[in-house]
Amino acid sequence: MEGAGRPELLIGWQNGRPIPGEKRKKRMNELKKIENELINKAVKGDGKAFDKLIRKYDRQIMNLLLNILKNEDDASDAYQNTFIKVYNSLGQFNRESSFYTWVYRIAVNTAYSFYSKRPDHAEFDEEIHSSKETQDFQIAGELELSDEEKREMVKKEIEKLSLQQKTVVYMKSFEGMKFKEIAEAMSLNEGTVKKYFFRAVENIKNNIEI
């Protein structure tokens, strides 16, 4: 076939440049290297390096805690506790999982600890953190409703879910995390996480009248 032996026509390479996927992989490796350098410095007591590490995830962690606890005071306390634990345990991070999921695991465990200490596991305050971003949930997108209807109806149904299901739905649909990452963050197996998610989706769809 004409041109078959010409290196410049090989798929994925033009003028020696890598395909976009290779560029992404290279960029991810660079970011991973930078993150590891920050971790190494933070373990040795470099406060500025630790600040840079947590700055990447602080908003996501706070949003996670608000969505689990639905109480700003508890979420704020859990946020502080989370990063105190992260700092104190940084030397034990074995890097087999990503730093991102490791921090999430600590945050989830901290949030559950706060929740379990509430008298009779008090109901969430629905007025706290009722973000419009709820409309972006994938489960809402499966229903043929207006944005406003999606937001209100799905939000109410999510509040009826178990604590574990709420957490999985938030991580998967709002944060866009993979099931494997969620499983690591929640210290569960991947099959259990999928079961929580799809059961939650089914419950919400069955309870919403279209």
Mean predicted confidence (pLDDT) in 168-190: 89
Query: What is the reported pTM?
Result: 0.65
Spatial separation of the C-alpha atoms in residues 90 and 55, rounded to whole Å? 15
Give the position of tokens 């406060």: 47
**Residue 1, token pair as written in the block:** 């076939």
Strand partners, 14: 17
List domains and CATH numbers for the chain.
18-120 (1.10.1740.10), 134-210 (1.10.10.10)
Per-residue pLDDT at 174? 81
pLDDT in tens, 98-154: 888 899 999 999 998 888 886 655 443 333 333 334 333 445 454 444 567 777 778
Query: One-letter amino acid identity for 96?
Result: E
Under the banding of pLDDT at 50, 70 and 90, the label for residue 209 is low
Backbone angles phi, psi at 27, to 5 degrees: -65, -40
Percent of the chain with pLDDT over 70: 73
Identify each DSSP E strand in the chain by its residue range: none
pLDDT in tens, 36-71: 899 999 999 999 999 998 888 889 899 999 888 888
